[in-house]
Amino acid sequence: WLFSCSTVRTHQSQSNVSAASCGSESDLCGLTGVLDDCFCDVESIDVFNNFKLYPRIKKLTEKDYFRYYRVNLKRPCPFWPDDGHCAIKDCHVEPCPEYSQAANTISDMNDCEQAKELGAINSTLSNQSKQAFADWARHDDAQDHFCELDDETSPDAEYVDLLLNPERYTGYKGPSAWRVWNSIYEENCFKPRSVYRPLNPLAPSRGLCLEKRVFYRLISGLHSSINIHLCAEYLLDEGWGRSVWGPNVQEFRQRFDTAVTKGEGTRRLKNLYFLYLIELRALYKVAPYFERAFINLYTGNSQEDSATKELLLQVFNEIRTFPMHFDEKSMFAGQKLEAKTLKEEFRLHFKNISRIMDCVGCSKCRLWGKLQTQGLGTALKILFSEKEIQNLPEHSPSKGFQLTRHEIVALINGFGRLSTSIHQLHSFRLLLKDNR
């Protein structure tokens, strides 16, 4: 899970991290200027995200509607034999060993107690929350759904409080970590396209059609974002006292330093910004869906629901002020039949990636991987559905386009993770400057 981008095979050879800095405060790993495939620059995105959007999106994801995510974490890996879930204390809670000669050690008992604190999926829910979920389900069932509900309807699916289960480093380095990302990059191939769109010759993924290049940039950006979260929330101390998480500059350099990654670090981070712009554009496009008066972010508390929707509309208004939105027309252009085929390909790819996430041995990593994959898939669904959104009736649901609670929660939290990554990059700039 922790290995960066498509160069995971070089990880072991990079164990001796270069002492060279990623660059100056204003030029982190060469990360500056205009991004490939669009006319947006890194500096403008930094200012917009860190000072305008990030504070609002952070507050929004703390609202009750967005903090609970229904997910099935018990699905078996469908692609290779299960190599076992993470057995270290940071990943999840194991039953305490029986008191015996074999287990009668301070280390064993301490591991058991620490396991409860460090990395377990915290499923603690108040009785009030449990009662509310049944009401939520009845409300959602009455809505006009468009897409399949996937594993949120599974009998094994449970609500998870995302605020009690933050995404952070757990220490998991099991074999499935390698397999998962290799499978995502290598197994999700596109069929030959009838229309070949020429590439920017300066773009890194030469020889690929635009759609395929975009797909891999999105996955690389997602992978980079996840690595930044883990570097920023790294387990620094697990001694006798309370465990401490915080930024680990060495881990960050190992994944993004130009010297260590042979220049790959810059591309990885630029793919993060590219993904950010894609999801930002999706939020811009879907705003009319939520602005309709009858759309209610329902939790049963009318005052809270009204405040949550108002905050969401403030986020949309802030997004409208951004001057350099990604132009998706070149990606989704083409004949109606071709566009429909491409949409189905993308949908199947992200459904497949979500299934691959079931192979991650660390429960917490699996939770956040599935959520962020679902969020990106929902963003692409929105971009492929521009005409349907434009034709939505003002005062009634439409079968042409509909979002489930599951998709809405994943969309906002997934974008929130990208916004957090870019905000955390600013913190790493300052730390790198101080450590030079």
Question: Would you state the structure tokens that stand for residue 435, as one six-digit string?
Answer: 């450590």
Rounded Cα distance between 136 and 337, Å, is: 37
pTM score > 0.85 for this model? no
Report the interhelical angle of 405-435 vs 54-61 (nearest 10°).
Answer: 130
| Residue 255 is assigned to a ligand binding site | yes
Q: Please compute the mean of the pLDDT values over residues 15-27 and round it to a whole number.
A: 38
Rounded Cα distance between 328 and 339, Å, is: 13
| Residue 168 is assigned to a ligand binding site | yes
| Residue 268 is assigned to a ligand binding site | no
* Listed range (36-40, 183-187, 376-380, 409-413) with the worst mean pLDDT: 36-40
* Between 159 and 127, residue with greater pLDDT: 159
Q: What is the pLDDT of residue 385?
A: 86
Q: What is the 3-state secondary structure (H, E, C) of 187-211?
A: HCCCCCCCCCCCCCCCCCCCCCCHH
In our burial notation (b when 16+ CB lie closer than 10 A, e otherwise), range 395-425 reads eebeeebbbbbbbbbbbbbbbbbbbbbbbbb
233-275: pLDDT as tens digits: 998 887 676 778 899 999 999 999 888 888 889 889 999 999 9
Identify the bridge partners of residue 234 per DSSP, sorted by sequence position. Answer: 246
127-138: pLDDT as tens digits: 655 566 666 666
Q: What is the pLDDT of residue 2?
A: 33
165-190: pLDDT as tens digits: 888 887 666 656 667 777 777 666 65
Contact 265, 258 (CB under 8 A): yes
Contact 402, 389 (CB under 8 A): no
Q: Where are the domains of the chain?
A: 5-14+28-435
Catalytic sites, residue numbers: 362, 365
Contact 266, 258 (CB under 8 A): yes
For residue 92, give the amino acid letter.
H
Residue 263, sorted as left (phi over 0), alpha (psi -120 to 50) or beta, turns out to be left
Q: Is the pLDDT of residue 117 over 50?
A: no
Burial degree of 427 (CB within 10 A; 0-12, 13-18, 19+): middle
Q: Please compute the mean of the pLDDT values over residues 380-404 and round it to a whole number.
A: 85
* Residue of 209, 191, 214, 189 lying closest to 199 (CA atoms): 209
Sign of the torsion formed by the C-alpha atoms of 339, 208, 358 and 243:
negative
Spell out the residues 6+ positions from residue 131 whose beta carbon is closer than 8 angstroms to its own.
none
Q: Please compute the mean of the pLDDT values over residues 67-74 and round it to a whole number.
A: 88
Q: What is the pLDDT of residue 215?
A: 84
Q: What is the pLDDT of residue 310?
A: 97
Which residue shows structure tokens 């982190």? 28
| Residue 223 is assigned to a ligand binding site | yes
Contact 158, 74 (CB under 8 A): no
| Residue 240 is assigned to a ligand binding site | no
The mean pLDDT value of the chain amounts to: 74
Q: Where are the beta strands (DSSP E) in 19-172?
A: 68-71, 158-161
Rounded Cα distance between 151 and 154, Å, is: 5
Question: Would you state the structure tokens that stand for residue 391, as one six-digit string?
Answer: 């034709």
Which residue shows structure tokens 């508390």? 301
